[in-house]
Amino acid sequence: MVIGDDFGFLVSKVSKLSGIDLSKYRESYIKRRIDFRMKIIGVESYSKYCKMLSTNQKELDSLINTITINVTEFMRDKTPFEFFLNKILPQIRDRKIRSNSRLLRVWSAGCSYGEEPYSIAICLSEFFDREWITSIYATDIDDQCLDTAKSGLYKPEQLRNLNEEIKLKYFEKVNGHYRIKDFIKKKVKFKKHDLTTQPPISSFFDAIFCRNVMIYFNEEQKRKVLNDFYRSLSSGGYLIIGKSESLPVEFKNKFKPVDLREKIYLKV
Ligand X SMILES: C[S@@+](CC[C@H](N)C(=O)[O-])C[C@H]1O[C@@H](n2cnc3c(N)ncnc32)[C@H](O)[C@@H]1O
Q: How far apart are CA 24 and CA 27, in angstroms?
A: 9
Interface with ligand X by CB under 6 A: which range of 40-48, 66-74, 128-136, 244-252? 66-74
Would you count residue 145 as binding ligand X (CB under 6 A)? Answer: yes
In whole angstroms, the minimum distance from the beta carbon of 200 to ligand X comes to 11
Nearest Cα residue to 128 out of 90, 168, 180 = 90
| 110 sits near ligand X (criterion: CB under 6 A) | yes
Q: Does 228 engage in binding with ligand X (CB under 6 A)?
A: no
Looking at the Cβ atoms of 47 and 144, the one nearer to ligand X is: 144
Query: Least CB distance from residue 263 to ligand X, whole Å?
Result: 11
Closest-CA residue to 148 (of 183, 104, 114, 182): 114
End-to-end Cα separation, the chain, in angstroms: 35
Residue 211 C-beta-side C-alpha neighbours within 13 Å: 31
Of 142, 133, 143, 122, the residue nearest 78 (C-alpha):
122
Stretch that binds ligand X, among 36-44, 64-72, 93-101, 163-171 (CB under 6 A): 64-72
Reference 118, options 205, 196, 186, 200; nearest CA is: 186
**What is the rounded CA–CA span in Å between residue 185 and residue 179?**
10
Rule CB under 6 A: say whether 194 interacts with ligand X. yes
User: If binding is defined by CB under 6 A, does position 141 make contact with ligand X?
Assistant: yes
Min separation Cβ 232 and ligand X, Å: 14
Which is nearest to 104 in space by CA: 200, 182, 201, 207? Answer: 207
Provide, rounded to whole angstroms, the least separation between the CB of residue 68 and ligand X: 3
Asked whether 92 and 151 are in contact (CB, 8 A), the reply is no
Between 91 and 144, name the residue whose CB sits nearer to ligand X: 144
In sequence order, what are the residues at sequence separation of 6 or more whose Cβ sits closer than 8 angstroms to the Cβ of residue 111?
117, 138, 139, 140, 145, 146, 149, 190
Using CB under 6 A as the binding rule, whether residue 116 contacts ligand X is answered as yes
Separation between Cα atoms, residue 83 and residue 80, nearest integer Å: 5
Out of 196, 208, 238, 240, the residue judged to bind ligand X by CB under 6 A: 196
119 belongs to the binding site for ligand X (CB under 6 A)? no
**Segment contacting ligand X (CB under 6 A): 82-90, 124-132, 159-167, 194-202?**
194-202
What is the closest distance, in whole angstroms, from the C-beta atom of residue 97 to ligand X in the complex? 29
Should residue 68 be labelled a site residue for ligand X when binding is judged by CB under 6 A? Answer: yes
User: How far apart are CB 67 and ligand X at their closest, in Å?
Assistant: 8
Q: Which residues bind ligand X (CB under 6 A)?
A: 68-72, 76, 110, 112, 116, 140-142, 145, 194-196, 211-213, 216, 242
